[in-house]
Amino acid sequence: MAPTQTQQFYPSMGLTTTKAPFIEVARSRGELYIEQPYELYSEENHEAWRRLYARIQERWQRYATEKFLEGVSKLCLDPNRSRGDGIVQQSGESAGCV
C-alpha cells in the first residue's frame, strides 16, 4: 500500500504530543486549526480510544450536566475509532450526525 500524503511528510511522528511535526507546521503558518492525520492512527491507538471512551461514559452519565451531555452528543464521537466518521451538520433542524 502506498503511503498517504501525510505519511510522506511525517513518516514517524508521534500522535500524542504537542510537538508533532504536523502541529509545528500549522503553528508556523498561523493556522488556528490543524488537520488531524487520522490515517496514521494505529489499531493500538484506536484500542486506547475504545477503552478510554468506555471508561468515561459511566462518569459522564453520573456527573455531567445535561448541557455537557448535549454537547458531547453533537460532537458525533465514534466509540470505536479515534475519530468521528459522522459528518456534523450545523444548521437548522437538520443539525446532527450523519
Query: Could you write out the DSSP letters of every residue in 2-20?
Result: PPPHHHHH-TT--SSSTT-
Q: Are 9 and 21 in contact (CB under 8 A)?
A: yes
State which residues form the domain around 88. Answer: 15-97
78 is a domain residue = yes
69 is a domain residue = yes
The residue that leads in pLDDT, 88 or 40, is: 40
User: Based on the structure, what is the number of domains in the chain?
Assistant: 1
93 is a domain residue = yes
Find cell 454537547 and name the residue: 71
Percent of residues, the chain, with pLDDT higher than 90: 27
2 is a domain residue = no
Give 18's Cβ-side CA count (13 Å radius). Answer: 1
Residue 2 clears pLDDT 70, i.e. is over it = no
62 is a domain residue = yes
9 is a domain residue = no
The pLDDT tens digits of the residues spanning 47-66 come to 998 999 999 999 999 999 99
4 is a domain residue = no
Q: Are 51 and 36 in contact (CB under 8 A)?
A: no
Find cell 475504545 and name the residue: 50
